[in-house]
Structure 1
Amino acid sequence: MTYAHPLQADINPYLRTPLVESVSLSRLAGCRVFLKYECSQPSGSFKSRGLGMLVHHSVNEAKKLGYEQRPHFYSSSGGNAGYATALACTLYDAPCTVVMPVISKKIMQQKIKATGAKVILHGNNIQEADLYLRGLLNKRKEEDDFNCVYCHPFDNPVIWEGHSTIVDEIIDADINISKLRAVACSVGGGGLLNGIVQGLLRNGLTIPVIGIETEGAPTLQKTMEKNQVTHLETFDTVATSLACKYVPQKTLEYCQNYDIRSVLVSDKQAVTSCIKFSFDHNVIVEPACGACLASIYFSKLDHLGLNLQPDDAVVIIVCGGSSTTFEDLHEFAISLA
């Protein structure tokens, strides 16, 4: 694919999202709870920041190196990461291939195809899809085509840099930073958590970061318990976006040197929180996001020693997700009853 138009350096693959105080959640928490609406990103999730920055960075680097064609981006994903990559590629007229497990939700297959990306269904899980994708990349390189980019869903410093912009926006918002006591986010592979810590450190802040997982996908907690990167082989959670085998070495380093606190919630609490949130705020999010919301709906922050006062503030990253409908949430709720 040749350049359809000159690369515009000011094209931004992600949006500046609202930071809104929630009256209902503040009442429950006994402090001021602010929601960072990452669900309003183009892809419906925070992934637009990290994967979008990776696409933007790679296109610029290819141009600097004198490539006449834009890079071909390759993603293995069951949903949000692949969708964010594909959408970002549309901004830069860059080709994109997404390999998805055959069990991926039809709604995500359709959304990714609608961007113009090539979708390949292969394997019964993300590991098998990723192995196939890497084979495609190796074949391209054997053909002396090095202008291709592997888009890992979370383990890449450029992705973390993209996610770190969330913190810049929080600081720029109308919030008293001196009263900010914690930032809470869901944790799957740790990319979002890494970005938040990176953003806080860059801005000279040492505010605790609360990493929230479901009980059936405790990758971060196991890593913290063992004080080493720990690979999980099996998962049992409806929050499939959190089912990542490991968190990166950088996440472990942050756990060792920064104030990271781990919280586990049940699948039922995550799904119930999604439903409550839909009624309270008229927004549908997937269970992976519901896990973070459960920290407020089910008072999970009370046991972390934060000693929150009424004028203190907590930011909840509403990470979003594009694969879940309201009907899905009710089906989850019935199955978990």
Structure 2
Amino acid sequence: MLELADVLEARERVRETSRHTPLTYSHTYSDMTGAAVHLKLENFQRTGAFKIRGATNRVQTLSPEEQAAGVVTASAGNHAQGVALAATRAGVDSKIVMPEQAPIAKVKATRSYGAEVVLAGADYDAAAERAHEIEREEGRTYVHAFDDEHVMAGQGTIGLEILEDCLDVDTVVVPIGGGGLIAGIATAIKAKRPDVRVIGVQSTGASSAAASLEKGSVVTIDGVDTIADGIATRSIGEKTFSVIQERVDEVVTVTDEQIAMAVAHLLERSKTVVEGAGAVPLAAILFEAFDYDDGEVIVPLLSGGNIDLNMLTTVIVRGLIETGRYLKIQTVLKDQPGALEELLAIISGHRANIYAIQHDRTSRDIKMSDTEVEIDLETRGHDHVEELLEAIEDHGYAVEVLV
């Protein structure tokens, strides 16, 4: 099994390629939770995510023959970029298979680091099948995204940095996809500070680790459905599972709505951009997915910041909806002059801002003398939403909340 010595050796191999990323105290999240929250900003890492660490360590351990044959891997995006950059820096040819729906930003970035990108399959697991075909066809070395001890050891260097930069840490919170990240971090932390808790977090739509721990063996779930594409795997690794069983204290899950709110919080309050997987640890703290004490020193690992702009837009809107700051309503008005103005006067009187208005006179659900109206509104929280809806209904309008 992976040991501390492996992580220490990995640190020397990755030192020139990866960055020692910042760890900063957050007054905002400490005040919100009562804990002492320190953000580990791995989204500031080269390639925008932690994966460069494990990829570099694996590439650095290739034999001369393996280097000459090149490497291949499968990835939803971050591991792809890590392998591409690590291989290019080592003069090794790389071919990366990514899911067909991989974020465009990650595909472009992977190509920019020097790799050939092949798009195949609906998710990571399907892409991995194609990558293994290429491995056999071309004699390349497969660089696994997580179930590889060299990769796990490279990711574990984050644990060393956390212990050095936050001497009084009580709990470290880590996202789990395939398990390589948390396996490496838990190995480093438990060897040096066995009293420090290591908490793993998954999305409820991709919770293979939680299911595996409950059963006592690796479970492959039927499919994944989450905005956190970086941890959207149907199963964790056999090697990572063994480490997680022995060294991780607890694995919890959070919903996509909670992840979206954490992304929006970080963007608005901390001016920090993270992808869904990177926000998962903070979501677990904010929504108390695990128990912690007042004043407990907690380090959530913001594992990556490579979020597609289209996804970021969706996540921001979802976050605004969940916090009561975005409202879309539908109602029916008389199709006559001044009817819309009367409704808008109520809305403006309660200080709601209008984003958009859409009229529909052709709906079969209304009388020919009426018009259906949809209005997108900026609101100031759940209390404001309730106050506004009550005022509109008190004036005789039947309101349907669309989002």
Global fold match (TM > 0.5): yes
Classify 1:170/1:71 alpha carbon distance in 2 versus 1 (closer, same or farther; 3 Å). Answer: farther
Task: Choose which of 50, 54, 59 in structure 1 pairs with 2:58.
Answer: 54
TM-score between the two structures when normalised by the length of structure 1: 0.84
Kindly provide the CA deviation profile for residues 78-135 of structure 1, in whole angstroms up to 9, marking residues without a partner as x: 2111111111122222211111222222222211111221112223333332222212
After the TM superposition, which residues 214-229 of structure 1 pair with which residues of structure 2 at under 5 Å, given as runs? 214-229=203-218
User: Is the Cα contact below 8 Å between 2:186 and 2:248 reproduced in 1?
Assistant: no
Instruction: Give the Å deviation of 1:220.
Output: 1.2
* Residues in 2 aligned to 1:123 and 1:258: alpha-carbon distance in whole angstroms: 33
Local SS of the residue matching 1:300: coil
Q: Which amino acid aligns with 1:313?
A: V
Instruction: Give the Å deviation of 1:300.
Output: 2.7
Partner in structure 1 of residue 20 of structure 2 = 16
Classify 1:256/1:96 alpha carbon distance in 2 versus 1 (closer, same or farther; 3 Å). Answer: closer
Question: C-alpha root-mean-square deviation of aligned residues, in Å?
Answer: 2.3
Partner in structure 1 of residue 286 of structure 2 = 297
Kindly provide the CA deviation profile for residues 49-94 of structure 1, in whole angstroms up to 9, marking residues without a partner as x: 1112112222xx32xxxx4964512111221111111111222222
Classify 1:104/1:262 alpha carbon distance in 2 versus 1 (closer, same or farther; 3 Å). Answer: same
Instruction: Give the Å deviation of 1:256.
Output: 3.7
* Residues in 2 aligned to 1:112 and 1:225: alpha-carbon distance in whole angstroms: 36
Partner in structure 1 of residue 346 of structure 2 = none
Kindly provide the CA deviation profile for residues 152-202 of structure 1, in whole angstroms up to 9, marking residues without a partner as x: 1111111110111112112222x333xx22110111111111011111133
Local SS of the residue matching 1:119: strand
Classify 1:198/1:24 alpha carbon distance in 2 versus 1 (closer, same or farther; 3 Å). Answer: same
Local SS of the residue matching 2:170: strand
After the TM superposition, which residues 1-337 of structure 1 pair with which residues of structure 2 at under 5 Å, given as runs? 12-58=16-62, 61-62=63-64, 67=65, 70-141=68-139, 148-173=140-165, 175-177=166-168, 180-301=169-290, 304=291, 306=292, 308-310=293-295, 312-325=296-309, 326-330=312-316, 333=319, 337=403
Classify 1:13/1:26 alpha carbon distance in 2 versus 1 (closer, same or farther; 3 Å). Answer: same
Max Rg structure: 2
Classify 1:110/1:331 alpha carbon distance in 2 versus 1 (closer, same or farther; 3 Å). Answer: farther
User: Is the Cα contact below 8 Å between 1:206 and 1:258 reproduced in 2?
Assistant: no
Q: Which amino acid aligns with 2:43?
A: C
Bigger mean CA offset, 252-261 vs 42-51: 252-261
User: Is the Cα contact below 8 Å between 1:227 and 1:252 reproduced in 2?
Assistant: no
Instruction: Give the Å deviation of 1:212.
Output: 0.8
Structure with the larger RCO, 1 or 2 (CA within 8 Å, 6+ apart): 1
* Residues in 2 aligned to 1:166 and 1:73: alpha-carbon distance in whole angstroms: 25
* Residues in 1 aligned to 2:304 and 2:14: alpha-carbon distance in whole angstroms: 25
TM-score between the two structures when normalised by the length of structure 2: 0.71
User: Is the Cα contact below 8 Å between 2:14 and 2:57 reproduced in 1?
Assistant: no
The percent of aligned pairs where both chains have the same amino acid is 26
Query: Structure 1: any 5+ residue segments left out of the alignment?
Result: 1-7, 142-147
* Residues in 2 aligned to 1:11 and 1:103: alpha-carbon distance in whole angstroms: 33
* Residues in 2 aligned to 1:94 and 1:335: alpha-carbon distance in whole angstroms: 47
* Residues in 1 aligned to 2:68 and 2:219: alpha-carbon distance in whole angstroms: 37
Kindly provide the CA deviation profile for residues 131-154 of structure 1, in whole angstroms up to 9, marking residues without a partner as x: 22212211223xxxxxx3211111
Local SS of the residue matching 1:236: coil
Query: Structure 2: any 5+ residue segments left out of the alignment?
Result: 1-11, 323-402
Local SS of the residue matching 2:47: coil
Classify 1:230/1:282 alpha carbon distance in 2 versus 1 (closer, same or farther; 3 Å). Answer: same
* Residues in 1 aligned to 2:120 and 2:44: alpha-carbon distance in whole angstroms: 30
Q: Which amino acid aligns with 1:80?
A: N
Classify 1:54/1:332 alpha carbon distance in 2 versus 1 (closer, same or farther; 3 Å). Answer: farther
